[in-house]
Amino acid sequence: MIEAATDLSDHVKEHANPAMHTAEHILNQTMVRMFGCPRSMNTHIERKKSKCDYLLAEDPGKEKMADVERQVNEVIGRHLPVTVHFMSKDEAATLVDMSKLPENVSDLLRIVRVGDYDVCACVGAHVENTAQIGFFKLLNCDYTPGRLRVRFKLVE
């Protein structure tokens, strides 16, 4: 188990973008709560801007997406702690959606919590507190039948 955790730690450092990645967690949970959709089906995280694709039956429109931006920034503004825990797959299955995990995933999972707002199995790098994220800005959204693409950035 220690060996797996060390390998995971090296992987996390290689793909580090803590503020943007933590903001993506908050965006995912906000989309789930507001629209009842699954977490992003496709995500691309970069320092300057990122994108997430969501399965939605209809276009939420600019007004609802402005509400998403407000909600994400409200959560960031709560200065929530971001914590990492390791637990068995069986234990994690009671907390998180396991459907996106590969079939050959190890029995020990890395679970990331953003305060009381989000919990997810994840290998990415994260900030220690949402106060370190900055301001979440939706750049644009485009909808094609069944899929909403959201592009966003962080500003200080």
pLDDT at 9: 46
In this predicted model, what pLDDT tens digit does every residue of 124-151 receive, in sequence order?
999 999 999 999 999 999 999 999 999 9
pLDDT at 16: 62
Token pair 């068995």: residue: 88
Q: Kindly give the parts of the chain with pLDDT less than 70.
A: 1-16
The count of structural domains within the chain is 1
Q: Residue 104's domain spans which residues?
A: 2-155
Q: Give the residue from 19, 50, 18 showing the smallest Cα distance to 133.
A: 19
Instruction: Write the CB contacts of 151 (distance below 8 Å, at least 6 apart in sequence).
Output: 49, 50, 51, 138, 139, 140, 141
The 8 Å CB, 24+ separation contacts for 35-38 are 35/60, 38/97, 38/99
> Exposure string (b/e) for 10-39, b if CB count within 10 Å is 16 or more?
eebeeeebbbbbbbbbbbbbbbbeebebeb
pTM of full prediction above 0.75: yes
CA distance 34 to 67: 9
Say if residues 146 and 56 touch (Cβ distance below 8 Å): yes
pLDDT at 127: 97
CATH number (domain holding residue 148): 3.30.980.10
Token pair 């402005």: residue: 66
Bridge partners, residue 112, by sequence: 84, 120
